[in-house]
Amino acid sequence: MRSEEIEIRTGSAEVVHDLTRACEEFLADVEGDGLLHVWVPHATAGLAVLETGAGSDDDLLAALRKLLPADGRWRHRHGTPGHGRDHVLPALVPPYATIPVLGGVLALGTWQSVCLVDTNVDNPVRKVRLSFLAG
């Protein structure tokens, strides 16, 4: 298995950050089939496969704000007010994704992208582990 950790700067705002190009670059020397596993080793971020650039990324953040409001209801109370919701996020947007790789190319659908979902404004730098398991 080949594995590499990359660093993503998400800044101080909620974000859906497209990782597809980074995944493709990681697979640049792969010629065969297998699986790309993407892992976020953080308790307050997740991964999603979705369309970006047509509003779906903003819709996802809006839905998460409605489902997980940044207010005082959370028992986990350190950091920015409402930060406890960020610790619930990975139960809904998991910290992992596995994508088939065929002939060295991600087997994504036409409009699909691999995205880091980060609602934690207290942590502007994230690590993402990319691992390729040959088939």
Closest-CA residue to 106 (of 5, 29, 35)? 35
- Range 2-134 has CATH code 2.60.120.460: yes
Q: How many Å apart are CA 122 and CA 135, to the nearest integer?
A: 39
The model's pTM is: 0.95
Q: What are the pLDDT digits (tens) for 40-84?
A: 999 999 999 999 999 999 999 999 999 999 999 999 888 888 999
The count of other CB atoms within 10 Å of the CB of residue 104 is: 15
**How far lies 119's CA from each of 83, 123, 130, in Å?**
9, 9, 21
Look at residue 77 in the predicted model and tell me its pLDDT: 85
Q: pLDDT tens, 22-36?
A: 999 999 999 999 999
- Best CA proximity match to 14, nearest among 118, 114, 85: 118
Return the domain boundaries, the chain: 2-134
